[in-house]
């Protein structure tokens, strides 16, 4: 997660540098867009995905435990 955040911030800093150096505006825009996307991915989306993955795994584990209990009651 942090990798994307730092990569995004580095790309945004590079975009600011190229904008200040008056180089290609397309390059600046591309770097800024890539940096913003990387930062958003690392800062917002990756933690959300991890949270929902953990919640889903908890539900799966709970259902598995309940199923094992039902098997024990019915067969044992």
Q: What is the pTM of this model?
A: 0.50
Residue-range definition of the domain harbouring residue 68: 2-75
Residue 2 has pLDDT above 80, yes or no: no
Comparing 44-48, 50-54, 63-67, which segment has the lowest mean pLDDT?
44-48
Token look-up 């730092």 returns: 6
- Domain count for the chain: 1
Phi, psi of 51 (to 5 degrees): -60, -50
What's the average model confidence in pLDDT over 14-32? 80
Identify the pLDDT of residue 67.
93
38: nearest Cα among 13, 21, 63: 13
Q: CB burial class (10 A; 0-12, 13-18, 19+) of residue 58?
A: exposed
């Amino acid at each position: 997660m942090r990798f994307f955040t730092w990569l995004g911030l580095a790309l945004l800093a590079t975009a600011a540098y190229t904008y200040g150096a008056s180089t290609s505006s397309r390059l600046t825009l591309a770097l800024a867009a890539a940096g913003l996307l990387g930062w958003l991915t690392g800062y917002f989306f990756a933690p959300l995905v991890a949270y929902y993955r953990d919640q889903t795994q908890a539900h799966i584990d709970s259902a598995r435990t309940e199923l094992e209990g039902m098997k024990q009651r019915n067969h044992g």
